[in-house]
Chains A and B, each alone.
Chain A
Amino acid sequence: MSVAKRPTPVKRKSLNVSELSPTSKFFVYGILVLIALFWTVPTLGLLITSIRIPDDASNSGWWTVFTGNAHLTLQNYVDVLGTGGGEASNTAATINLNQAIVNTIIMAVPSTVIPIFLAAIAAYAFAWMVFPGRKILFMILVALLVVPLQMSLIPILRDYRVLGLNGTFLGVWLANTGFGLPLATYLLYNYIVTLPREVFESAVIDGASHPVMFTKLVVPLSVPAFASFAIFQFLWVWNGVLIPLVFLGDKQNVTVLPQRILQMIGTYGANWTILTAGAFVSMAIPLAIFIGFQRYFVRGMLAGSVKG
């Protein structure tokens, strides 16, 4: 199968950098450093608060650790990870940390992959296939992006009880898929629709069918779009509290990570040091995935320019 060649932007980046004049280089780097700084300072506050003792955290600003007010401790992490003594750790320890992480992964991975696959084929249909109701169905899909999740929970939980899906991972995957599909389909549609028409035309002339065009053309060309949507869906699912709470219920063997952290907070709330340490623990895995996915964001498109 031969396909019209897409422009292959090989090594464009290095070329550009060398062409920036020293002044513009200074401005580009300067602006970005400023922005990065602005974005990072609040997070830095979180990180530092997570290693302070509670009395300090409520008494003085986190930046005072740089001016000598440093009683730093890892106890908050010990509490969150539930491996040591301390009042709060006992509660957490009843929900094993490893189990919670495993549960979150079991919940999050299929909840990410299934919607992407279903959204990709649907987006392809909306973009490159002709069928009655195409426009109105797409309109409904976009409009449903705005439906508040809470409105759906009650009728679905009712059905789940009848179907026996309540409290199972299966139910959560399907729910996350259903709730994530409008955005996934919408974003992937907008990507797939911009693929050059010539690519498809020549494939059609060669006698390729839709399934073939989808697997051989669209999928390889869409890797960066899949990768970026995957990371977002993963994050939403990973940090989501409401859906697992409602559909997985309260059994301890299915408790997920954010739930476990929230359970460490008493009635009157705000235990800042525990919360901040918890936030960092639950951030670690999505962040690692994002950094791991970097190369797909960068190279996906270049690798995508397939030929026959």
Chain B
Amino acid sequence: MVQPSSSQPRQSTSNPTTLAGLIAALVVTLFVYFQVFLFLREGTANPWIIFIVSLLWGIGGIWLLFTLVTSIVDLLPSKYRQGIMPWVFAAPAILLVFYYLLIPTFRTFWLSLLDAKSDKFVGLDNYIFAFTSPAMLESFKNNLIWIIFGGGLSVALGLLIAALSDRTRPSFEVSVKTLVFLPMAISMVGAAVIWKLVYQYSPAGASQIGLLNSIGTTLGASPIPFMITRSINTYLLVIILIWMQTGFALVVFAAAIKGLPSELLEAARIDGATELQSFFKITIPYIQVTIISVSTTIVISTLKVFDIVFGMTGGNYGTQVIANEQYTQMFRSFDYGRGAAVAMVLLIAVLPVVYFNVRDFGKEAKGF
């Protein structure tokens, strides 16, 4: 482990005057910061003034605070500095996440042990429901389809498009990326309309408004009520997710592939590797971490998938998923206990993914 400061004599002797000055600056900044906070909380000024002040406050202010605090910590004796500095970096994010997500999760856990109206302790009753009710069993099966089919294809397609478009003219590359990215910019409401125009069904003989049935009937097939056909409807919903999410995978993969040093590829080429070989032997290993992080993100979003199911089928016809069941229990049936237990099931379901991500964490002694 290397200590960044050990080789630096200048910093090991702290200067009391500078320190005092910095602390004074920090106090003043904090005071101003709080005053601006009150001003913004009031929120009665002209929106543009609020906007400009907010940018200065939110971005400049945080930067200033960060700089001041790190400067102060930098002046501290080395033994304190090493202990404190990491927290200056990590604490703001950790505290915010704890407040906005972790504490509410504890509350959710508590609610999951109480009855529908949170009046009575019911032990594990809600968890028995969450693991045995037909709706939940159906959800487990469907979420698995979402993860494997939706997650797998989003990642694979994103990687494929990123790798291929990297080899095309820049203008073409930008166009392809923009078109695949486009669905990410569409709101969920818009996306639901788009896909209704694809999957819509009208009885035989009527004019088909849905693209698929229109193609089908033109070719002589009879129209299929896609959304209520139990064997295929979940897969058709998954396609919507793939359509919306591949843009995410693509953009991140494309950025990673751009970082691939050309020397590596050229060396492979000189060794006589084919395009395919160098893709699997060089590109994939090089962007492995990116692949894991994109896969994790997408798997989690397939676990949480809600909008698509809610908007297209409402979880009927065998398409129920965990997050929609959670929503239904909580905001339709007003059963807080069950809703909370189902939410906790999501948290349990994500644990393998978490484990996979932190498996190698700190194995090689990283950090300074």
Chains A and B directly touch (beta carbon < 8 Å): yes
Give chain A's interface residues, CB within 8 Å of chain B. 6-7, 9-10, 12-13, 15-17, 19-20, 24, 28-29, 31-32, 35-36, 39-43, 45-46, 49, 58-63, 99, 102-103, 105-106, 109-110, 113-114, 117-119, 121-122, 124-131, 134-135, 137-148, 150-152, 155-156, 164-165, 167-170, 173-175, 177-179, 181-183, 185-187, 190-191, 193-194, 197, 200-201, 203-205, 207-211, 213-214, 224-225, 227-228, 231-232, 235, 239, 241, 253-254, 258, 261-262, 270, 272, 275-276, 278-280, 282-283, 286-287, 290-291, 294, 297-298, 300-302
Supposing A117-B63, A201-B2 touch, asked if A155 and B86 sit within 8 A by C-beta, the answer is: no
C-alpha spacing A19/B167, complex, angstroms: 9
A residues within 8 A CB of B177?
Answer: 294, 297
C-alpha spacing A190/B306, complex, angstroms: 27
CB-based contact A207/B362 at 8 Å:
no
C-alpha spacing A135/B355, complex, angstroms: 11
CB-based contact B90/A122 at 8 Å:
yes
CB-based contact A61/B208 at 8 Å:
yes
Q: Which residue of A lies closest to B11 (CB)?
A: A209
B residues within 8 A CB of A118?
Answer: 62, 92-93, 96
CB-based contact B331/A290 at 8 Å:
no
Supposing A200-B368, A301-B258 touch, asked if A40 and B197 sit within 8 A by C-beta, the answer is: no
A residues within 8 A CB of B48?
Answer: 102
B residues within 8 A CB of A129?
Answer: 85-86, 89-90, 367-368
C-alpha spacing A201/B366, complex, angstroms: 11
Choose from A102, A106, A170, A174 the contact partner of B96 (Cβ within 8 Å). Answer: A174
Q: Closest 5 CB pairs between A and B?
A: A178-B100, A279-B190, A122-B93, A7-B261, A125-B89
CB-based contact B4/A262 at 8 Å:
no
Is B26's CB within 8 Å of the partner chain A? Answer: no
Contacting residues of chain B (88-141) with chain A, CB-CB under 8 angstroms: 88-90, 92-94, 96-97, 99-105, 107-108
Chain B contact residues: helix, strand, loop or mixed = helix
Choose from A15, A138, A151 the contact partner of B361 (Cβ within 8 Å). Answer: A138
Is B168's CB within 8 Å of the partner chain A? Answer: yes
B residues within 8 A CB of A194?
Answer: 289-290
CB-based contact A60/B209 at 8 Å:
yes
C-alpha spacing A155/B102, complex, angstroms: 12
Stretch at the interface among B17-25, B147-155, B226-234, B296-304: B296-304
CB-based contact B92/A279 at 8 Å:
no
Shortest distance from the beta carbon of B58 to any chain A beta carbon, whole Å: 4
B residues within 8 A CB of A146?
Answer: 300, 303-304, 346-347, 349-350
CB-based contact B182/A143 at 8 Å:
no
Q: Mark B351-368, 1 if CB is under 8 A from A, else 0.
A: 101100110011000111
Q: Tell me the number of A-to-B contacts counted with CB atoms below 8 Å.
A: 395
Q: Which residue of A lies closest to B252 (CB)?
A: A228
Q: Mark B57-97, 1 if CB is under 8 A from A, else 0.
A: 01100110011001100100000000101111110111011
Shortest distance from the beta carbon of B236 to any chain A beta carbon, whole Å: 13
Q: Which residue of A lies closest to B357 (CB)?
A: A142
B residues within 8 A CB of A126?
Answer: 90
C-alpha spacing A168/B343, complex, angstroms: 29
Q: List 16 A-B contacts (CB under 8 A).
A: A19-B269, A29-B168, A61-B197, A61-B214, A118-B96, A121-B66, A129-B90, A145-B300, A150-B326, A150-B327, A186-B297, A200-B368, A211-B71, A214-B89, A275-B189, A294-B177
C-alpha spacing A291/B182, complex, angstroms: 10
CB-based contact A210/B190 at 8 Å:
no
Q: Which residue of A lies closest to B340 (CB)?
A: A151
The CB with the most chain A CB atoms within 10 A, among B58, B71, B261, B263, is that of: B58
CB-based contact B99/A178 at 8 Å:
yes
A residues within 8 A CB of B270?
Answer: none
Contacting residues of chain B (331-350) with chain A, CB-CB under 8 angstroms: 331, 340, 343, 346-347, 349-350
C-alpha spacing A232/B249, complex, angstroms: 11
Q: Mark B319-332, 1 if CB is under 8 A from A, else 0.
A: 00001001100110
| Size bin of chain B's contact surface | 35 or more
A residues within 8 A CB of B160?
Answer: 31
Supposing A146-B350, A178-B96, A235-B185 touch, asked if A151 and B105 sit within 8 A by C-beta, the answer is: yes
Is B51's CB within 8 Å of the partner chain A? Answer: yes
Is B194's CB within 8 Å of the partner chain A? Answer: yes
Supposing A131-B90, A141-B97, A143-B350 touch, asked if A43 and B161 sit within 8 A by C-beta, the answer is: no
CB-based contact A290/B101 at 8 Å:
no
B residues within 8 A CB of A270?
Answer: 193
CB-based contact B167/A17 at 8 Å:
yes
Choose from B179, B187, B269 the contact partner of A258 (Cβ within 8 Å). Answer: B187
C-alpha spacing A231/B55, complex, angstroms: 17
Is B292's CB within 8 Å of the partner chain A? Answer: yes
CB-based contact A121/B208 at 8 Å:
no
Is B225's CB within 8 Å of the partner chain A? Answer: no
B residues within 8 A CB of A262?
Answer: 189
Shortest distance from the beta carbon of A97 to any chain B beta carbon, whole Å: 14
B residues within 8 A CB of A113?
Answer: 55, 58-59
Supposing A110-B59, A235-B185 touch, asked if A210 and B89 sit within 8 A by C-beta, the answer is: yes
B residues within 8 A CB of A137?
Answer: 90, 94
B residues within 8 A CB of A105?
Answer: 51
C-alpha spacing A190/B343, complex, angstroms: 27
A residues within 8 A CB of B195?
Answer: 42
Shortest distance from the beta carbon of A225 to any chain B beta carbon, whole Å: 7
Is B282's CB within 8 Å of the partner chain A? Answer: no
B residues within 8 A CB of A121?
Answer: 66, 88-90, 92-93
A residues within 8 A CB of B210?
Answer: 61
CB-based contact B47/A232 at 8 Å:
no
CB-based contact B55/A110 at 8 Å:
yes
Is B216's CB within 8 Å of the partner chain A? Answer: no
CB-based contact B7/A205 at 8 Å:
yes
B residues within 8 A CB of A210?
Answer: 4, 70, 85, 89, 368
Choose from A43, A58, A280 the contact partner of B183 (Cβ within 8 Å). Answer: A43
Since A179-B101, A213-B4, A294-B177 are in contact, a sample of 16 more A-B pairs with Cβ atoms closer than 8 Å, ordered by chain A residue number, is A7-B264, A9-B263, A12-B265, A61-B210, A126-B90, A142-B354, A145-B297, A147-B105, A168-B42, A179-B100, A191-B290, A205-B2, A227-B255, A280-B190, A282-B190, A301-B255
